[in-house]
Structure 1
Amino acid sequence: MGLLAFLLIGLAAWLIWTGRLQRMSAKDGMALGAALVGAVMAAKGKPVIGAPLLLGAALFFFTKSQPAKKRAKAATPSVSPAPQDIAAARKLLGIGADADARAIRAAHRRLIASVHPDKGGTEALAAQINAARDLLIKEAAQRH
């Protein structure tokens, strides 16, 4: 039990040291909680309950640590975006059709500063704004 506690303390220290606790999603938290419950159950003499929880959490974190290329077997084909998607992205960022990559990034920075999740905004809105920026930068690169 002492070795298990030492390993858990080491895991927590590593998570804090690398800053992963700050970037932890809800799924990460649930997997970490399952690992802790599994470790406690295994330490209390119930390895049949604890081992699957520990192994499941370890598998989750292992697959998450693999690069996205290795996880995705088939690459999605490159499809040109629809004109209405580009128009919606421009409207979201508040830029004109002639905006270059620098103007797109500047508009993105101004907008994301006010709606960032750390400032009280939602992750969904920030993701939409980031997707609009990426779409418009790709479209601007294709134009030039």
Structure 2
Amino acid sequence: MGWLAILLAGLAVWLIWTGRLQRMTAKDGMALGAALVGAVLAAKGKPGIGAPLLIGAALFFAQQGSAKSRPRKRAGPPKPVPGSDDVVRARALLGLPDHADARAIRAAHRRLIASVHPDKGGTEALAAEINAARDILLADQKQKKR
């Protein structure tokens, strides 16, 4: 069991060295710590205490691995099909006339999003609304070209 403790300690050092430990959650760190403590206790001749810690950590990581393999649902609302009301609201939000082309839509979006982007102190909701307005207008442009 001593080799298991050395192996787990090496794994922890490798995670720190490669920077992968930064992406770990607190629960992941606690499970890794429990596995290390369990391996050390089992190596010191106390398998009755160390084995449950090792088994618990192994089950936790097995459950985490199966959760990551499941496909995630895409975040955010579904994109609406552009209707006349949506297009009018999108044009008003971006401040565009009816005859604006795709280049003008992108320029207006870029200008507006620069001031309300979440990284610049704006809100995510407003940025998402502006992005949706751009998408609606560009989709409307494509429909008109058909």
Corresponding residue number in structure 2 for 1:49 = 56
TM-score in terms of structure 1 length: 0.66
Corresponding residue number in structure 1 for 2:120 = 119
Distance 2:144 2:100 in 1: 11
Q: Deviations over 1:96-132 (max 9, x none)?
A: 2211110000000000000111101112221111111
Alpha-carbon RMSD: 3.1
Alignment of 1:1-144 (within 5 A): 1-10=8-17, 12=19, 32-45=25-38, 46-63=53-70, 80-144=81-145
SS at match of 1:96: coil
Structure 2 alignment gaps of length 5 or more = 1-7, 39-52
Q: Is the 8 A contact 1:93 1:132 kept in 2?
A: yes
Q: Deviations over 1:65-121 (max 9, x none)?
A: xxx8xx78xxx9x97422211111111111122111100000000000001111011
Distance 2:64 2:124 in 1: 25
**Higher alpha-carbon Rg:** 2
Structure 1 alignment gaps of length 5 or more = 16-28
Distance 1:34 1:53, change over 3 A: farther
Corresponding residue number in structure 2 for 1:20 = none
Instruction: After TM superposition, give the deviation of residue 60 of structure 1 in Å.
Output: 4.7
Q: Is the 8 A contact 1:93 1:108 kept in 2?
A: yes
Q: Is the 8 A contact 2:81 2:136 kept in 1?
A: no
Distance 2:17 2:66 in 1: 18
TM-score in terms of structure 2 length: 0.66
Distance 1:81 1:37, change over 3 A: same
> Higher relative contact order by CA 8 Å / sep ≥ 6: 1 or 2?
2
Q: Is the 8 A contact 1:38 1:52 kept in 2?
A: no
Count of residue pairs brought into register by the alignment: 121
Q: Is the 8 A contact 2:87 2:136 kept in 1?
A: yes
Distance 1:79 1:118 in 2: 26
